Structure 1
Amino acid sequence: METILFIVLIIIVLISVFFLYSMQQKLTDLQKPKEGDENLFIMIQNQIQEQARSVQDLTKTLDQKIAESTKSMNTSQQHLHTTLQEQFSQNTRLIQGISGQSTKMIGEITEKLTSLDKTNQQVIGFSAQLTNLEKVLTSQKQRGNLGEAGLQLVLENILPPGAFALQYEFEDGDTVDAAVFTKDGIIPVDAKFPLENYNKLVNEDNKERRAALEKAFKNDLKKRIDETAKYIKPQAGTMEFAFMFIPAEAIYYDLLVNEVGAVKVNTRNLIEYAFQERKVIIVSPTTFAAYLQTVLQGLRALKIEESAKSIRKNVEMLQKHIKAYEAYMQKLGNSMQTTTNHYNAAYKELGKIDKDVVRITQGERQIEVESIEGPMRTEE
């Protein structure tokens, strides 16, 4: 606004100067042809003077306006400078605050991205492990190794090292996955993992294929039972039964409740067949651990019994030593009794000698005969 006013004032000054210049030219032109006309000249001169005063007043007013405008502009400029400086300071603080927050947020985002990267690495690791597990569960040989590893873990967590053996070989060359040693004999344990037909049966929806898979599953399980039963060898020192270890609780539970997934399979007959006809007890990690606790208690009782036998044997030997000591003490007592008798007899003879001396010398007795008692004998 002040800039526009300043421009208008400059335009007015220019117009006034131009007007004065024009009047001066007219005056000059009038002076040449009409030098005798004094009144007209005076009148024009007066007008010029008035116009000059007007211009002077206008110039003065213009100077005042320019001064006021300059002052106002300086004030406005100073105020604007102060405002801009404050705004700049505020913006600087705001930018610094935003920069600090941005740096913090970038740090947090970087940290979260790092954590997310670690999580992704873990997920990738889990995925790889699941892939490996899937490969293990797909391969029958690997499944067997997994079952044996689960069996070993249960045995090592419950029984002492000498109470079992892994990959126990019989004299005829058969090798069972594990053997548990008890007082009454060896308990063979074979790890089985009938997973392939089980998974097919659970995931099958077609009734016809499901019926075929049910039959295959039961035949597979029956085959595993028969394989375990061949390790029952009483002539080789085994018990009259064996354990068939299923390392998957889910499969064992389905067998126990007579149901596989949503399909009911007559597995109860197989369990009865295993126990009654083949003397095979089907166990899971949980139930096998319970059986092993019973075996462990039996081993502890056997250890206590063996310790009691050893203690009794040592007591019998101690009794023999005491009797021998008693015999020697009796002999020592007899010897001491004989010595005491000899001592008392010798003292009596010494007393007789003293009496003889007294009779000869007519003096007094000098020796007092003292007898001692022998050791007391106890009646047996």
Structure 2
Amino acid sequence: MGRRTAAFQEQLTEERRKQQEAEARAQEALMRMMQSQSALEGRLAQMSDASAKSQAELTRTLEERLDKVSQRMGESLEKTTQNTTESLTDLKTRLALIDEAQKNITELSGQVVGLQDILSNKQSRGAFGEVQLNDLVSAILPPSAYGFQETLGNGKRADCVIKLPNPPGPIVVDAKFPLESYHLLRNAQDEGQNKQAAAAFRTAIKKHVKDIAEKYIVTGETAESALMFLPSEAVYAELHANFPDLVEESFRAKVWIVSPTTLMATLNTVRAVLKDVRMREQAGVIQKEVGTLLIDVDRLDKRVGNLRSHFNQAEKDIKEIETSSGKISKRAEKIEALQLEEGESAGAVLETARGQLDGE
């Protein structure tokens, strides 16, 4: 019985010890939990402070960025407004220029229509060619080298006469403008129209060449050839590109077909020829004057020779005069050296001196 009681007490004591150890461990765990809670509260406080600071910093950063964005947006809007204003101003200026250009185009259109009206009339078209011919000739040649609307010996009036010396003699230039047949040729839509227009163009050119050859090549008055002036490079190019037989026929008729460009080259050649002729004329005048100058030089040489002869004769006379003067001086010295002897008269002394001098 006593043993059971002692065992029970030991067991009870062991249980109490275990209970105490458990309570101690529980208290230790509770203390740890309280310490952990305190540490957690501190960390939460720090996190709260850090969060508050981060929030404040974020707020400040956001405010600064919003201010910068607002400022940039304001500057951008201001710059955009300025650029838009400048663009509108430039657009307005360009629209004004476009309006002005449109007015000019309208005026040019009217002028083109007017030019078409002029060229549609044969007389006006002829006057147009004559004016262009007048401008080209008067711009290159001197006034004495040409004449406009001059009447030839056969009664025909020439548009222009280039006055060249013989040979070749004066060359007549007549302006022709076969525009109607050229337009038909350019506007042909099919092969039939093209052939018809080509025939009309060929007929017009042949007629002009024949008229110029018969009217403006006058034997004994003009050169053996004449010029037909086409005041259009396009017509000239069409003629030489697609109608070489007409060009050869004009060569055989001694009618040279020229355009504004080729006429300028021809007139420059004519100016060179006229300049050469004037140089030859001046060379003849100079040669004549040089011959006259040589005659004058020969005459001057003869007169210089005569003057040299006179100088030689004068020098000889001077030497003779010097000889006579020397003799006179010697005689005067001898006369001065004579002394009058007593009882002699002056006349006797002179006679004696004269005799001595004569004896010399």
Specify the TM-score bucket, using the shorter chain as the normaliser: 0.5 to 0.7
**Cα 1:341/1:302, change in 2 over 3 Å:** same
Post-superposition Cα deviations, 1:10-69, rounded to whole Å, max 9, x if no partner, equal xxxxxxxxxxxxxxxxxxxxxxxxxxxxxxxxxxxxxxxxxxxxxxxxxxxxxxxxxxxx
Q: 1:144 aligns to what?
A: 126
Instruction: Identify which of 357, 374, 380 aligns with 2:332.
Output: 357
Post-superposition offset of 1:102: 5.6
Q: 2:220 aligns to what?
A: 235
Post-superposition Cα deviations, 1:154-182, rounded to whole Å, max 9, x if no partner, equal 22333233222222332443221111122
Post-superposition offset of 1:98: 7.3
**Cα 1:90/1:182, change in 2 over 3 Å:** closer
Residues 138-287 of structure 1: pairs in structure 2 closer than 5 A: 138-184=120-166, 185-229=169-213, 230-236=215-221, 238-257=222-241, 259=242, 267-276=243-252, 278-287=253-262
Tell me whether 330-339 or 122-131 shows the greater mean CA deviation: 330-339
Q: 1:126 aligns to what?
A: 108
Q: Note if 1:294 corresponds to 2:278.
A: no
* 2:125 partner letter: R
Post-superposition offset of 1:106: 3.9
**Cα 1:99/1:163, change in 2 over 3 Å:** same
Q: Note if 1:311 corresponds to 2:296.
A: no
3-state DSSP of counterpart to 2:189: coil
**Structure 2: gaps spanning 5 or more residues:** 1-66, 339-360
Q: Which has the higher helix share?
A: 2
Post-superposition offset of 1:340: 2.2
Tell me whether 351-360 or 90-99 shows the greater mean CA deviation: 90-99
3-state DSSP of counterpart to 2:178: coil
* 1:350 partner letter: S
Q: Note if 1:338 corresponds to 2:313.
A: yes
**Cα 1:145/1:360, change in 2 over 3 Å:** same
Separation in structure 1 between the aligned mates of residue 187 and residue 201 of structure 2, nearest angstrom: 13
Separation in structure 2 between the aligned mates of residue 275 and residue 93 of structure 1, nearest angstrom: 80
Q: 1:21 aligns to what?
A: none
**Cα 1:93/1:215, change in 2 over 3 Å:** closer
Q: 2:96 aligns to what?
A: 114
Task: Give the TM-score normalised by the residue count of structure 1.
Answer: 0.63
* 2:198 partner letter: E
3-state DSSP of counterpart to 1:193: coil
* 2:226 partner letter: A
Post-superposition offset of 1:214: 2.7
Separation in structure 1 between the aligned mates of residue 265 and residue 198 of structure 2, nearest angstrom: 30
3-state DSSP of counterpart to 2:155: coil
Separation in structure 1 between the aligned mates of residue 72 and residue 240 of structure 2, nearest angstrom: 77
* 1:200 partner letter: L
Separation in structure 2 between the aligned mates of residue 214 and residue 93 of structure 1, nearest angstrom: 72
Separation in structure 1 between the aligned mates of residue 72 and residue 285 of structure 2, nearest angstrom: 95
Q: 1:320 aligns to what?
A: 295
Separation in structure 2 between the aligned mates of residue 187 and residue 193 of structure 1, nearest angstrom: 20
Tell me whether 192-201 or 344-353 shows the greater mean CA deviation: 344-353
Post-superposition offset of 1:209: 4.3
* 1:341 partner letter: K
Tell me whether 278-287 or 149-158 shows the greater mean CA deviation: 149-158
Number of equivalenced pairs: 269
* 1:174 partner letter: K
**Cα 1:306/1:94, change in 2 over 3 Å:** closer
Separation in structure 2 between the aligned mates of residue 359 and residue 157 of structure 1, nearest angstrom: 97
Post-superposition Cα deviations, 1:74-107, rounded to whole Å, max 9, x if no partner, equal xxxxxxxxxxxx9xx9999999777656644443
Separation in structure 1 between the aligned mates of residue 250 and residue 190 of structure 2, nearest angstrom: 30
* 1:296 partner letter: R
Task: Give the TM-score normalised by the residue count of structure 2.
Answer: 0.66
Separation in structure 1 between the aligned mates of residue 74 and residue 245 of structure 2, nearest angstrom: 85
